[in-house]
C-alpha cells in the first residue's frame, strides 16, 4: 500500500486511489443505469400510447386516474434514471467525480423506487381492466413483494452479511 507520507495517495480496498475508485464506481453505476433506463423507457413509451387508443375512453374514472398516476410516475422514474448521465456531463472535468458518483447513486436508487411504483401501478391498471376480479390487489401485492425481495431485500441482506467490518 502506498503511504501518504511517502508522497503517494492513500489506497484502500482494491489498492486504488479515491479517484480510481470513483472512476470504477462510475463505470459500474452507468452499466446499472443502462439496464434500468431501458426498462423504464420501454414501459413509459407504451404508457404514453394508451391514451390514444379507443379503449382509453371506456376506462372508469378510477382506472383513468390510475393511468394518469402511472404516467407521472413513469416520467419521474425516467428523469431520475437519466439524471446521472446529465450530472456526469455537467460536472465532467470539475474534479468532483467522487461526489458525482454519490449523487448519481442516490438518483439511481430513487429511479428504481419510482420504477417499482410505475410497474406496480401499470400492473394494477392492466389487471383491473383485464379481469375486473377482486383478487387483483392481492396478485399485485404478491408481485410487489417479489420485486422488493429481488431489488432490495436480497441485496441488502447480502450487503449486511458479506460486508467486512
Percent share of the chain, pLDDT over 70: 92
Each domain of the chain, given as residue ranges in start order, spans 4-133
pTM of the model: 0.85
Long-range contacts of 61-66 (CB under 8 A, 24+ apart): 62/128, 63/125, 63/128, 63/129, 66/121, 66/124, 66/125, 66/128
* pLDDT, tens digit, 9 for 90 and up, residues 32-82: 999 998 889 899 999 999 999 999 999 999 999 999 999 999 999 999 999
* pLDDT, tens digit, 9 for 90 and up, residues 152-162: 999 999 999 99
Percent share of the chain, pLDDT over 90: 81
Integer CA distances (angstroms), 46 to 14, 51, 110, 122, 140, in order? 43, 10, 22, 10, 19
Amino acid at each position: 500500500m502506498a503511504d501518504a507520507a511517502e508522497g503517494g495517495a492513500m489506497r484502500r480496498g482494491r489498492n486504488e486511489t479515491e479517484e480510481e475508485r470513483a472512476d470504477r464506481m462510475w463505470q459500474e453505476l452507468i452499466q446499472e443505469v443502462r439496464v434500468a433506463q431501458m426498462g423504464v423507457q420501454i414501459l413509459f413509451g407504451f404508457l404514453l400510447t394508451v391514451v390514444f387508443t379507443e379503449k382509453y375512453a371506456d376506462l372508469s374514472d378510477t382506472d383513468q386516474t390510475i393511468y394518469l398516476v402511472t404516467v407521472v410516475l413513469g416520467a419521474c422514474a425516467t428523469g431520475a434514471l437519466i439524471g446521472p448521465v446529465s450530472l456526469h456531463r455537467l460536472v465532467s472535468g470539475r474534479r468532483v467525480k467522487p461526489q458525482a458518483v454519490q449523487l448519481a447513486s442516490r438518483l439511481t436508487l430513487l429511479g428504481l423506487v419510482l420504477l417499482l411504483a410505475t410497474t406496480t401501478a401499470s400492473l394494477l391498471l392492466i389487471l383491473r381492466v383485464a379481469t375486473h376480479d377482486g383478487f387483483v390487489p392481492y396478485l399485485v401485492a404478491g408481485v410487489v413483494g417479489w420485486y422488493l425481495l429481488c431489488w432490495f431485500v436480497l441485496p441488502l441482506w447480502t450487503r449486511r452479511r458479506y460486508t467486512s467490518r
